[in-house]
Amino acid sequence: MISRAARRRLFSRFMTALTVLAAVIALAPLFAIFADLVLRGASSLNFDFFVQNPAAPGQTGGGVANAIVGTLIVVGVAAAIGLPLGIGGGVYLAEYGGGTFGVVVRFLADVLNGTPSVIVGIFAWTWIVRPMGHFSALAGSLALAVLIIPMVTRTTEEMVRLVPHSLREAALALGFPRWRTTAKIMVRAAWPGIVTGGLVAVARIAGETAPLLFTALGNLNFKTNVMQPMQTLSLQIYVFATGPFEEWHRLAWGAALVLMAIVLLMGIAARLATRTRFRDG
Amino acid sequence: MAAPDEKRSQRPRFRSAGWGDALFRSGLTAAAAVVPALFLAIVGLLAVSAWPAMRQFGFRFLWSSTWDPVAGIYGAAPMIFGTLLSSLIALIIAVPLAVGVAIYLTEFAPNWLRRPVGTLVELLAAIPSVVYGLWGIFVLIPLLRSYVIPPLQAVLGWTPFFSGTFYGNSMLAGGIILAIMILPYISSVSREVLAAVPPSQREAALALGATRWEAVWSAVLPYARSGILGAIVLGLGRALGETMAVVMVIGNRHDLSVSLVEPGYTMAAIIANEFNEAAGLQRAALFEVGLVLFGVTVAVNALARLLVWRVARDSAVGSRAI
């Protein structure tokens, strides 16, 4: 017969062990996915994979050069549009966002962050593709920009808020006008964190597919004109994975490995950009 | 006479006068105004585009289960049901795991392990949806077919939930993929909420002689309850709207069925699948599906914010992209 205290201690141990088990189970799919990506994807990677376009259906060989370049263009344009707006909005919220307007913007940014990306896809279709009359990479970039703006707005706000108030007071006391205080002191001090938030957001949209289905559409050829439909890695993976050919499946794994590598590299760059000064995160 | 002037001069005045400040501020305001403008534009364009279907079918759209492009009759019930069922499966699997991970990382894990394990769990959120779909098709479904479905059907095959033929693409496959995808969101927000619980709560319980688990269960979790609930609701919002991974593994069939081993459909999946081929009334019906989905996710996210703010007020917990 064990004592009540011992039983309680034992139960505590048991529950602790369960939480460890939860962590192990949660990490299992991560390792499984990465292992499968490397095992199945690496064998597809060769020189042709990076320099050729997809072969005709059913043929062997071919690569995803058009999709790699397309991803870089679509995501690059989206970042060029979305990052300045997001950062501007975030700085506004941190510096002037105390009023009702600030509360509304903050709340709607959170709501938009949770909006399904496929909704943004049909929104971009009605907004750009329908009036223009044809699919285009630019429409895809704008859809991705819609996704990135609220994300970057919130991270930027948080980073600027972390800058100690004393820095602002010091600048104002020295006679800096308000705008220079914000731009040269507050944003400057928060910059590494802002860059991290931006890179994380760009990494997130680099893997997006749903908003591109009805905008960038995909393309079998190598295109660099943003006014035309364009292939991206994510769209290519979708087509290859759901298609009937062995060869396509092989290429899908290769493309997925490349896409994952791009996303991870941006994630690592994001972590390197901050050795944040004001916060241990 | 001079009193009002005197009062004004007592207020501290920054050197705010000048066009620099005005210009700078209006530029930032314009950038911030993009967010509400986008929100209104999304609501407006979806509503206008969905109007033909709304006028044609009224509220019947929500509970009619016929989706027949040939006859021109559209009802979203199977998709609404499928969205709820797949999200429910995802929550049942992900919540215990995610909250368990969060408790382990904030309460029990040795310090040197917290950062790496936390980062790895959050890495799940960095995997693109389409890669989850690819993995689902070629790894998860074969795994389910060989090792999970046969014993499951042997034991529970008599219940309506596990009866029927397993073709691979199924509600269960969709639910499991969704569970893996929302886990990092729930665990990351739960972690931040748990970390926001004042240490005095824990210390008081421990000082009264509680074991470590009892301190977590009786002092920390009650304090963090609404925040963890918020994290779960946030995960639910993700699951409801997740598209690519679901469309690749759930089977895309417009039938109402409670069987988890049979194919199903979700609102996001039908938009992804049929939008480009649709025209006229079908397109309007898909817009209405989108409008319903948007409304639901807005409501769910708003609820999640309120719940999280109750615990971690004035913080951006749950707002950050992880």
Q: Concatenated DSSP letters for A18-52? A: HHHHHHHHHHHHHHHHHHHHHHHHGGG-SHHHHHS
CB of B297 less than 8 A from some CB of A: yes
- Per-residue pLDDT, averaged over B257-265, amounts to 92
**In CATH, what number is assigned to the domain containing residue B302?**
1.10.3720.10
Tell which B residues from 112 to 151 touch A, by Cβ distance under 8 Å.
117, 120-121, 123-124, 126-135, 137-139
Is the pLDDT reported for residue B197 higher than 50?
A: yes
Contacts of A148 (CB under 8 A, 6+ apart): A78, A79, A82, A83, A86, A201, A202, A204, A205
Residues 74-93 of B with CB under 8 A from A: none
Give the mean model confidence (pLDDT) for residues B99-104: 97
Q: CA-nearest residue of chain B to A257?
A: B131
Spatial distance between the Cα atoms of B48 and B54, rounded to a whole number of angstroms: 10
Q: How confident is the model at residue B319 (pLDDT cuts 50, 70, 90)?
A: low
Whether A264 contacts B156, CB under 8 Å: no
Residue B36 is assigned to a structural domain of this protein: no
> What is the spatial distance between Cα A17 and Cα A35, in angstroms, rounded to a whole number?
26
- Testing the interface with A: which of B244, B296, B314 to mutate, by most A Cβ within 10 A? B244
Cross-strand partners of B216: none
Q: What is the tens place of the pLDDT at every residue in B221-256?
A: 999 999 999 999 999 999 999 999 999 999 999 988
What are B68's strand-pairing partners? B73
Chain B contact for A87 (CB, 8 A cutoff)? yes
Asked if B162 has any chain A CB less than 8 Å from its own CB, the reply is no
pLDDT, residue A271, reads 85
Q: What is the mean pLDDT of residues B262-282?
A: 94
Nearest to A149 among B24, B35, B108 (CB): B35
- Separate counts of helices (H) and strands (E) for chain B: 15, 2
Residue B46, domain member (yes or no): no
Instruction: Supply the pLDDT for residue B313.
Output: 61
DSSP label of B253 = -
Confidence at residue A275, expressed as pLDDT on a 0 to 100 scale: 58
Does residue B5 sit within a domain? no
Chain B residues with beta carbon closer than 8 angstroms to that of A95: 28
In contact, A69 and A161? CB cutoff 8 Å: no
pTM of the model as a whole: 0.92
Residue-level pLDDT at B295 = 96
> How many CB pairs (< 8 A) connect A and B?
300
| Domain membership flag for residue B13 | no
- Among B residues 27-56, those touching chain A with beta carbons less than 8 Å apart: 27-36, 38-39, 41-42, 45-46, 49
In a domain, B44, yes or no: no
Within an 8 Å CB–CB cutoff, is residue B223 touching chain A? Answer: no
Closest chain B residue to A204 measured between Cα atoms?
B126
CB contact under 8 A, B24 and A179: yes
Q: Which of B16, B24, B28 to mutate to test the interface with A (most CBs of A within 10 A)?
A: B28
State the residue for tokens 């941006």.
A266
Q: Does residue A245 belong to the interface with chain B, where contact is any CB pair within 8 Å? A: no
pLDDT value at position B318? 53
Binary contact (B302, A149; C-beta < 8 A): no
Contacts of B267 (CB under 8 A, 6+ apart): B76, B79, B80, B82, B83, B240, B289, B290, B292, B293
Residue B11 domain-assigned?
no
Q: Indicate yes or no: CB of B31 within 8 angstroms of CB of A206.
A: no
Expressed as residue numbers, the domain containing B199 is 55-311
Is residue B279 predicted with pLDDT exceeding 70? Answer: yes
- Which pLDDT does position B308 carry in this prediction? 81
pLDDT in the model for residue B305: 84
CB-CB under 8 Å, A177 with B16: yes
pLDDT digit string (tens) for chain A, length 281 residues: 678 889 999 999 999 999 999 999 999 999 999 999 999 999 989 998 999 988 888 788 888 999 999 999 999 999 999 999 999 999 999 999 889 999 999 999 999 999 999 999 999 999 999 999 999 999 999 999 999 999 999 999 999 999 998 998 999 999 888 888 998 899 999 999 999 999 999 999 999 999 999 999 998 888 889 899 999 999 999 999 999 988 899 999 999 999 999 999 998 998 888 754 444 43
Q: Which residues contact B306 (CB under 8 A, 6 or more apart)?
A: B230
Q: Does A238 touch chain B (CB under 8 A)?
A: yes
What confidence score (pLDDT) does residue A60 get? 82
Number of CB atoms found within 10 A of residue B316's CB: 18
DSSP class per residue in B95-131: HHHHHHHHHIIIIIS-HHHHHHHHHHHHHGGGS-HHH
Is B28 part of any domain?
A: no
Residues of B in contact with A154 (CB under 8 A): 316, 319-321
Q: Is residue B48 part of a domain?
A: no
Into how many domains does chain B fold? Answer: 1
State whether B121 and A30 contact (CB < 8 Å): yes
Minimum Cα–Cα distance from B214: chain A residue = A12
> Scanning every residue of chain A, which has its alpha carbon at the shortest distance from the alpha carbon of B270?
A118
Residue A219 confidence (pLDDT): 87
